Structure 1
Amino acid sequence: MSPPAVPFRTGLTRGFAQGAFHDIAYVEWGERDSPHVIVCLHGLSRQGRDFDPLAQALAGMGYRVVCPDLVGRGRSGRLRDPEGYGLPQYAADMAMLVAHLGVDSLDWIGTSLGGLTGMVLAGAKGSPIRRFVINDIGPFLPWAPVRAIGARLREAPRLHESLETAEARLRTVHAPFGPLTDAQWRHLTEHSFVPEPAGGFRPHYDPGIGNAFRPGRVYSVSMWPVWDAITCPVLLLRGADSDLLLRETADEMTRRGPRATRIDIPGCGHAPALLDAHQIGIVTDWLGRPE
């Protein structure tokens, strides 16, 4: 990919779990003192660098854009006991991040798990979230695709001999992201795997994040009361072929709670990658330039 048009910074704050503190790492784009802040949060096995092109575009519009790595992913810390990986911990950590940013209000862009985390925060009393873009996730998750996602995660190789084999795996597992260029796949790969001293490349996440998907633990999830508590404006993005965000669930999301504005993105399943100009434009057009 081409060099960033807007410089970025790396940062750290701290979360707390299981009697210990852990790092919450993030990449930050735009002017540090801009009062117009957007947090972009990634999916289950992903990390904050997925949002580089979108963050660059938003920063160029005048936003301060913060793209964290959830605990257990990327440059963030790992939990001592993987049983702690779950939505309550992720929401608590992101609340700590919001406090660290020192702003009274912000916008939220969340893909998949990042969208679920955003739902929890946006539906909370006194939420600082002003506007919410939720990407291919909703308050009802059918068990079959959840089980399939968990199985792929738990069965993923712990080590790849090269970035080429790692990229081949990524292209297969994340084919529902839609048609991406070779440069886009390589960008995702370079930030999804880290070199091992003895050779090879391992995924940039703690394998323990898959514990929640062990056999007997996967079931349909319903979070409608959380959705109904959200009052801020919401843009709902759905991959037209998504099996995780069902069409009928997306329909219902436009009729209740915040009554989301919905856009289906053709050629994608779970979840649109928000890497190409068209998808980025959908988000930037809805958010508009900061006032």
Structure 2
Amino acid sequence: MTEGFSDFFYTAPDGLKLHARIYGEANSGHWPVVCLPGLTRNARDFHELALYLSRRPEGPRKVVAFDYRGRGLSAYDPDISHYNPAIEAGDILAGLAALGIEEAAFIGTSRGGLIIHVLGAMKPSALKAIVLNDIGPVIEADGLAHIRSYLDPSPKPKTRAEAISAQRETHGSDFPALTAADWERMVSALYRKTEEGLMPDFDPRLVDTLAGLDLTQPLPDLWPQFEALAAIPLLAIRGANSKLLSVETLEQMRKRHRDIETVTVEGQGHAPFLETGALPGAIATFLDRAELKFS
């Protein structure tokens, strides 16, 4: 056990070696929680939230935070076409099978939320409750263009101070609520140390998967997949300054899901830091309430 978690390695259906972090006890008596990060992010994004959820005296939960293929401690895929939500959803199911987890609550940030939509089609029985962090069935093209712009090229700072400065320059206007400690944690999660300095901790070819998107046209929506989740308790979190999840889409989500709660996080954009402010407590309370409905 290291810093409150243990490392878990498993094999994907195509043989790639993948990684997840495990927090908390295996048999707490409560639903486990599965955390799925954004496009280029990794399990470290959920460290503080996972510690909180796994150590709550009134209802500790086992938490599994995944590194997708090509991110964090998971192996890079030689075929970049495999960096897609369908393959990644299959990887998550393989990891859960290896851990003996048949059902769980799922928390998905950005790309992770898209993967949850896919999991709802692949294995709906696995989903007991859902937290979508700044993602919904409609992705705003302007928001995706913004992501593409700051990923290509990704900054390669030499020091932590340079990394923090670069991230604040890129994201500061969308995240005025963040503290110095928040930016420190962001950099710790995003970068890995190398002999050449700090490097973003993902396969750089991931950026190529966005290159062919025509962002002058509306992106395909996931309303059918979203509506298939209507019986599953859902907490939708939106950053007030988000460019990816619009106010209009969040309102439509309210209308189309019969068991939804929503939270708007002031002073944050895409995607809110789930360990900040009242979010850990709100997420824990939502999970407790959802579990009580099924007890």
- Considering the TM-score relative to the shorter chain, is it more than 0.5? yes
CA RMSD of aligned residues (A): 2.1
Percent pairwise identity: 30
Does structure 1 residue 53 correspond to structure 2 residue 52? no
Question: Residues 16, 256 of structure 1: CA spacing in aligned structure 2 closer, same or farther, 3 A cutoff?
Answer: same
- From 18, 24, 34, the counterpart of 1:24: 18
Q: Deviations over 1:166-197 (max 9, x none)?
A: 22222333433552222232222123222223
Partner AA of 1:53 in structure 2:
E
Q: 1:68 Cα shift?
A: 0.9
Write the distance in 1 (CA, Å) between the matches of 2:213 and 2:51. Answer: 42
What is the CA–CA distance in structure 1 between the aligned matches of 2:65 and 2:104, rounded to whole Å?
13
1:37 alignment counterpart: 32
Query: 8 Å contact 1:234–1:258 — kept in the other structure?
Result: no
* Partner-residue secondary structure (3-state), 1:222: coil
1:125-204 equivalences in 2 (<5 Å): 125-157=123-155, 159-175=156-172, 176-177=174-175, 179-197=177-195, 199-204=196-201
Q: Which aligned pairs between 1:101-112 and structure 2 lie closer than 5 A?
A: 101-112=99-110
Question: Which structure 1 residue ranges, 5 or more long, are not aligned?
Answer: none
SS at match of 1:264: strand
Please state how far the C-alpha of 1:216 moved relative to its aligned partner.
4.6
Equivalent residue letter for 1:169: A
With structure 2 as the length reference, what TM-score do the two structures score?
0.88
The SS at the match of 2:241 is coil
Does the alignment pair 1:214 with 2:211?
A: yes
**Deviation by residue 1:104-143 (Cα, 9 ceiling, x = unmatched):** 2110011111111112213445431100011110001122
Q: Taking structure 1 as reference, are residues 280 and 178 closer, same or farther at Cα in structure 2, changes over 3 Å only?
A: farther
**Secondary structure, aligned partner of 2:13:** strand
Amino acid at match of 2:160: L
Q: CA deviation at 1:49?
A: 1.0
Structure 1 residues 29 and 177: alpha-carbon distance in aligned structure 2, compared to 1, 3 A threshold: farther
Q: Aligned AA for 1:227?
A: F
Give the C-alpha shift of residue 259 in structure 1: 4.6
Matched pairs, number: 282
Supply the distance in 2 between the matched residues of 1:212 and 1:90 (Cα, whole angstroms). Answer: 14
- Contact in 2 for aligned 1:122/1:232 (Cα 8 Å): no
Q: Contact conserved, 2:177 with 2:266, CA < 8 A, in 1?
A: no
After superposition, the C-alpha distances for 1:4-61 in whole angstroms (9 at most, x for unaligned) are 5xx21111112134xxx21221111111333531011111121111111111111013
- Whole-angstrom distance in 2 between the partners of 1:277 and 1:288: 19
**Post-superposition CA distance 1:211-255 (Å, at most 9, x none):** 121155445130111001112110111112212111111011111
Task: Flag the 1:268–1:277 CA change in 2: closer, same or farther, 3 A.
Answer: closer
Residue 184 of structure 1 aligns to a residue whose secondary structure is helix
- Residue matched to 2:248: 248
- Structure 2: which 5+ residue stretches go unaligned? none
Structure 1 pair 178–81 and aligned structure 2 pair: CA distance change class (3 A): farther
Q: Tell me the TM-score normalized by structure 1.
A: 0.89
- Please give the secondary structure, in 1, of the residue aligned with 2:270: coil
Amino acid at match of 1:202: M
Identify which range, 175-184 or 48-57, moves more after superposition.
175-184
252-261 or 235-244: which moved more? 252-261
**Structure 2 counterparts to residues 273-288 of structure 1, below 5 A:** 273-288=273-288
1:74 to 72, 91, 94: 72
